[in-house]
């Protein structure tokens, strides 16, 4: 196989990329321009920018979906459950209609900060839609799941958001959650659908509440786990060309 042809860094046109990073407030590399370290720093900054929501700085939907897929695989290979929370701001359309879209953006940012403050640094908080958020909580024991969801809900309900001179606004959120239990192979889409069903239930029951899918503990022996993954590996090898 011939060696890959190296690209001369001097022929790269990076003006638009650098302008994009500057407009986003990203720190530009301190290294000498067009060196390997400088180019790597630019690429890293662009990757970070592409994975974040422009308004809140949270993970965006693309980044969330990639993290969810990784977590599904991790849970299936460990003895640690994980919790997925889907949530959105109650009656958010009324906020935009009454106070304007600028106020709506302020509400979204305030809610994003409150959610981040209510969870662990290891948890991933993402904005997945207009007023919709998601939280992936690795290694979250089933018996503490509802307490975590309630902490997030309460933190948001305590907000006084200034949307104009002398105008303070309070909002609430509804949450739905589902666990990815140990040793159960699932899919990211199915996990999201299960959490979404609980979110719809929370809204149907009056909003400003958290509903979690009932957790059924599944005890699997070490021998059964070994057989499971031996079978999975065999199936994977058979599918290879």
Q: What is the pLDDT of residues 154-213, one digit of tens each?
A: 999 999 999 888 889 999 999 999 999 765 667 899 999 999 999 999 999 999 999 999
Cα-based distances in Å from 197 to 32, 63, 181: 52, 22, 17
3-class secondary structure, 174: strand
What does the angle CA 190 – CA 191 – CA 193 come to, to the nearest 5 degrees?
65
Instruction: Identify the CA nearest to 147 among candidates 172, 128, 119.
Output: 119
Please tell me which residue in 116, 131, 132, 150 is annotated as part of the active site. 131
Going by pLDDT thresholds of 50, 70 and 90, the confidence category of residue 50 is: confident
pLDDT band at 151 (very low <50, low <70, confident <90, very high): very high
Residue among 75, 92, 85 at smallest CA distance from 198: 85
Helix (H) or strand (E) segment spanning residue 81:
none
pLDDT at residue number 61? 96
What is the pLDDT at residue 45? 76
Determine the Cα–Cα distance for residues 84 and 68; give it in Å rounded to an integer. 9
Q: Does pLDDT of 219 surpass 50?
A: no
CA 230 to chain centre: 31
Asked if residues 156 and 173 have their Cβ atoms less than 8 Å apart, the reply is yes
CB 151 within 8 A of CB 221: no
Contact criterion met (CB below 8 Å) for 153 and 88: no
What is the distance between the alpha carbons of residues 147 and 150, in angstroms, rounded to a whole number?
Answer: 5
Cα–Cα nearest to 183, from 228, 235, 147: 228
pLDDT at 68: 96
Give me the pLDDT at residue 224, please.
Answer: 43
Which whole number is the average pLDDT over 15-25?
A: 82
Are residues 102 and 45 in contact, defined by beta-carbon separation less than 8 angstroms? no
**193 assigned to active site:** no
pLDDT in tens, 87-97: 999 999 999 99
Digit-coded pLDDT (tens) for 61-81 = 999 999 999 999 898 888 788
Task: Tell me the pLDDT tens digit for each residue of 171-185.
Answer: 999 999 999 976 566
């Amino acid at each position: 196989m011939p060696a890959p042809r190296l690209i001369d860094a001097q022929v790269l046109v990076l003006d638009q990329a650098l302008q994009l990073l500057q407009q986003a407030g990203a720190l530009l590399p301190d290294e000498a321009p067009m060196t390997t370290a400088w180019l790597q720093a630019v690429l890293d900054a662009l990757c970070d920018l592409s994975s974040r929501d422009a308004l809140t700085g949270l993970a965006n939907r693309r980044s969330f979906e990639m993290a969810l897929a990784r977590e599904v695989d991790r849970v299936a290979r460990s003895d640690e459950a994980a919790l997925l929370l889907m949530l959105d701001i109650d009656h958010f359309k009324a906020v935009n209609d009454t106070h304007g879209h600028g106020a709506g953006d302020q509400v979204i940012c305030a809610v994003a900060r409150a959610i981040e403050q209510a969870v662990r640094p290891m948890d991933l908080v993402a904005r997945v839609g207009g007023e919709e958020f998601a939280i992936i909580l690795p290694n979250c024991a089933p018996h503490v799941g509802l307490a975590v969801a309630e902490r997030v809900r309460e933190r948001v309900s305590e907000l006084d958001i200034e949307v104009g001179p002398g105008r303070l606004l309070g909002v609430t959120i509804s949450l739905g959650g589902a666990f990815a239990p140990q040793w159960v192979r699932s899919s990211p889409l199915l996990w999201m659908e299960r959490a979404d069903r609980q979110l719809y239930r929370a809204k149907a029951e009056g909003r400003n509440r958290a509903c979690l899918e009932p957790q059924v503990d599944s005890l699997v022996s070490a021998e059964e786990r070994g057989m499971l993954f031996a079978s999975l590996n065999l199936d994977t090898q058979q599918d290879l060309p």
